Amino acid sequence: MEVSEKIQCPYCGQSFEITVDTSAGSHRFTTDCEVCCRPMEIAADCEPGEILSLDVQGA
């Protein structure tokens, strides 16, 4: 199940929404900022249908 969550870019400070696959449990993935295009590493702690926590850091 995919859930949307708003995050803030650690580089430019802009907020935007990402979609997280909560069926994958706890996992890490990389995505680019929609504004400044710099890569971010996201650590997602999830249960099916729910995001427990997100940690966003520069990659």
How many domains in the chain?
A: 1
Domain that holds residue 8: 2-58
pLDDT one-digit tens code per residue, 33-49: 999 999 999 999 999 99
Please give the model's pTM, rounded to 2 decimal places. 0.84
Average of per-residue pLDDT values in the chain: 95
Tokens describing residue 6: 């708003």
24-44 b/e (C-beta count within 10 Å ≥ 16 → b): eeeeeeeeebeeeeeebebeb
